[in-house]
Amino acid sequence: MILRDKFFINGQWVAPSSKETIDVHNAGTGAVMGKVPAGIDKDVDAAVAAARAAFEGWSATPAADRAAYLQKISDGLKARAAELGSTIAQEVGMPIKLAGRIQAGLPIANFANYSKIASSFSFESKNGNSLVVREPVGVVGAITPWNYPLHQIALKVAPALAAGCTVVLKPSEVAPFNAFILAEVIEAAGLPKGVFNLVTGFGPAAGEALVKHPQVDMISFTGSTRAGKRISEVAAQTVKRVALELGGKSASVILEDADLAAAVKGTVTGCYLNSGQTCTALTRMLVPASKYDEAAKLAVEAAKGFTLGDPMSEATRLGPLSSQMQLERVRDYIKKGVAEGAELLTGGADQPDGLPGGYFVKPTIFGKVKNSMTIAQEEIFGPVLSIIAYQDEEEAVRIANDTPYGLAGAVWSTDDARAQKVARRIRAGQVDVNGGAFNMNAPFGGFKQSGHGREAGVYGLEEFLEYKSLQLKG
């Protein structure tokens, strides 16, 4: 049992204002694995006050010194990588082998990367008689999700610190323990007091208090589109900057000349990563009508390779979902897919055999899906793939763009030029071409209701900077 009973505010571990606590559940068993405090507005006020007091000194700290702190944090996380991987595997359900590489490895890499970026970034430039200066936006409220908990924290905290901002972090209450490990690492790195502050709690209490706080200059949020809309409404009252990375319903467009076996396998893998709990998951597979039967067969075969099991087992390829609420949500979508006439090719809403505990859903594939169906329009956030047939390239592009979202997508073709041409027509923030690898320095973010703003690399740093023009006399 992991018991966390204090917040990290102003460089110290302090008691919360409320005695209310939040149970954190082990995704693989459903059992309570620990508790964290449920923060309220008073806790947020204290954290923001600390961040505001620390801002002037931190923003004036040379970029090279800020970079050195970020490298120390990366080194500290690396020393606790095994603990982080194990903790997040239990919180979220990602199989331990992947959790070590992704859930722990990416945050370690990103803190180190922002150390390099801070060292090399040009914070000022000349333009005619003007000196254009890039200054930190101020106090940043970071509100992060549970699916890639520390990774999403790193993509906000690391660039914000690199920019010279101070931070108040409100992590997801579903997967909060990794954030406490980060706070311990930051404390050990000797970051000046108040530069980083941690408060846990529920969104309507702690999260909303942070968003509406007049001393917070920017909110960076990753989560659902519904929550993003609410944050935009509340933040508008103080005209603060808002960066949103929200939901997705990404299409994997397999053109008729593609290597079908490779494209289907890549799509299924892109759908099932982290049990489908990925905002960029390739949840719609678009295939030529003439190749539908073959693609459906290949997809079912690929799904069989995703063995369900204990996320702490090295043999597991598909872990559980993160919570009971998520389990019920995904099962309801599967039932809705059947009710609306989609063909259930494999999987389903019933409890998997041999797994009585935990939040498990079978790897599921629907065939003969129409893009107007609920399962093709709404983000499910589970291991559920919809196969949609199309007649020609024009229809494929239309279907791919026929969604409120625009976060990601994929295009497959043996003709790279053709694949890139189609990719340019997809209204999404990032499109994988023939299985192109993830690039931690490329901008990450969405079009339409997938949000606005970009994370990762230098683009992520720039989100936390303001422009100032100094008009100089010649």
Residue 205 and residue 259 in one domain: no
Average pLDDT over residues 151-161: 98
**pLDDT (tens digit per residue) in 291-318:** 999 999 999 999 999 999 999 999 999 9
Same domain, 61 and 168: yes
Whether the predicted pLDDT of 474 surpasses 80: no
Does 42 share its domain with 191? Answer: yes
Average pLDDT over residues 225-252: 98
**Which residues constitute the domain of residue 396?**
251-439
- Please indicate, yes or no, whether residues 381 and 255 belong to a single structural domain of this protein: yes
Task: Tell me, yes or no, whether 444 lies in a domain.
Answer: no
Stated pTM of the model: 0.97
> pLDDT for 387-402, tens place per residue?
999 999 999 999 999 9
pLDDT at 206: 98
- Assess whether 92 and 179 both reside in one domain: yes
**58, 12: one domain:** yes
Same domain, 238 and 287: no
* 3-state helix, strand and coil shares in percent for the chain, rounded to the nearest 5: 40, 20, 35
Contact 266/273 with Cβ under 8 angstroms?
Answer: no
Instruction: Say whether both 84 and 183 belong to one domain.
Output: yes
Asked whether residue 170 falls in the same domain as residue 270, the answer is no
Please identify every residue annotated as catalytic. Answer: 245, 279
pLDDT tens figures, 259-276: 999 999 999 999 999 999
Mean pLDDT of 321-338: 97
pLDDT tens string 362-393: 999 999 999 999 999 999 999 999 999 999 99
Whole-angstrom distance, CA of residue 209 vs CA of residue 42: 9
- Read off the pLDDT of residues 160-179 as tens digits, 9 standing for 90 and up: 999 999 999 999 999 999 99
Q: What secondary structure letter does DSSP report for 430?
A: E
The pLDDT confidence band at residue 357, using thresholds 50, 70 and 90, is confident
Q: What is the rounded distance in angstroms from the CA atom of residue 324 to the CA atom of residue 414?
A: 42
In a domain, 445, yes or no: no
Is pLDDT at 356 greater than 90 in this prediction?
A: no
Question: Which of helix, strand or coil describes residue 27?
Answer: coil
Residue 66's nearest CA partner among 130, 203, 161 is: 161
Same domain, 257 and 229: no
CATH of residue 75: 3.40.605.10
What is the pLDDT of the chain when averaged over all its residues?
97
Asked whether residue 242 falls in the same domain as residue 255, the answer is: no
Beta strands of 52-95 (E only): which ranges?
none
The pLDDT, as a whole number, for residue 176 is: 98
Q: State the pLDDT confidence band at 255, using cuts at 50, 70 and 90.
A: very high
CATH number of the domain that residue 272 is part of: 3.40.309.10
Instruction: Compute the distance between CA of residue 268 and CA of residue 432 in angstroms, rounded to an integer.
Output: 14
Give the angle 462-463-465 at the CA atoms, nearest 5°.
65
Q: Is 305 inside any structural domain?
A: yes
Q: Which amino acid is at 435?
A: G
Classify residue 300: in a domain, yes or no. Answer: yes
A 10 A CB-CB count for 135 gives 16
If you count them, how many residues does the chain have? 474
Maximal C-alpha separation, the chain: 78
pLDDT at site 372 = 98
**pLDDT digits 0-9 by tens, 92-116:** 999 999 999 999 999 999 999 999 9
Query: Domain check: are 462 and 428 in the same one?
Result: no
235 found inside a domain: yes
Q: How does residue 29 score in pLDDT terms, banded at 50, 70 and 90?
A: very high
Residue 439: its pLDDT value, please?
97
Q: What is the mean pLDDT of residues 204-208?
A: 97
Structurally, the chain folds into a number of domains equal to 2
pLDDT in tens, 124-137: 999 999 999 999 99
